[in-house]
């Protein structure tokens, strides 16, 4: 009887294991249809969309500070 080299056994085992794992993954992929599980959502009605000019309706201190052209124009708290 002739001995099969151990490298050939390792390669064959890896090929069979990889094929089995790929088959299980493909079978499981069909079982979980993500598109059917996720419901489409409506856009949030709290705030209007942000445009290039900024978000309309947000004329608050934080927004004005963020839009300031110079750091000295923003009313930032003093560093300690």
pLDDT tens digits along 29-70: 766 666 666 777 776 667 667 777 766 666 777 777 888 888
Residue 17 above 90 pLDDT? yes
Assess if residue 58 is contained within a domain.
Answer: no
Give the long-range contacts of residues 57-65, CB within 8 A, separation 24 or more.
Answer: none
Residue 20 lies in a domain: yes
Q: Residue 8 pLDDT > 60, yes or no?
A: yes
Is residue 1 predicted with pLDDT exceeding 60?
Answer: no
Task: Report yes or no on 80 lying in a domain.
Answer: no
- For 50, the enclosing helix (H) or strand (E) is strand 50-51
Asked whether residue 78 is assigned to any structural domain, the reply reads: no
60 in a domain, yes or no? no
When divided into structural domains, the chain yields a total of: 1
| Average confidence (pLDDT) over 1-24 | 86
12: domain range? 1-32
First CA to last CA across the chain, in angstroms? 85
Whether residue 73 lies inside any domain: the answer is: no
Whether 40 maps to a domain, the answer reads: no
């Amino acid at each position: 009887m002739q001995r099969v080299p151990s490298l050939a056994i390792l390669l064959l085992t890896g090929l069979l294991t990889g094929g089995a794992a790929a088959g299980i993954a493909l079978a499981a992929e069909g079982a979980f249809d993500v598109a059917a599980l996720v419901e489409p959502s409506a856009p949030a009605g709290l705030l209007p969309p942000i445009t290039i000019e900024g978000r309309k309706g947000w004329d608050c201190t934080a927004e004005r500070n963020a839009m300031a052209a110079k750091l000295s124009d923003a009313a930032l708290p003093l560093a300690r």
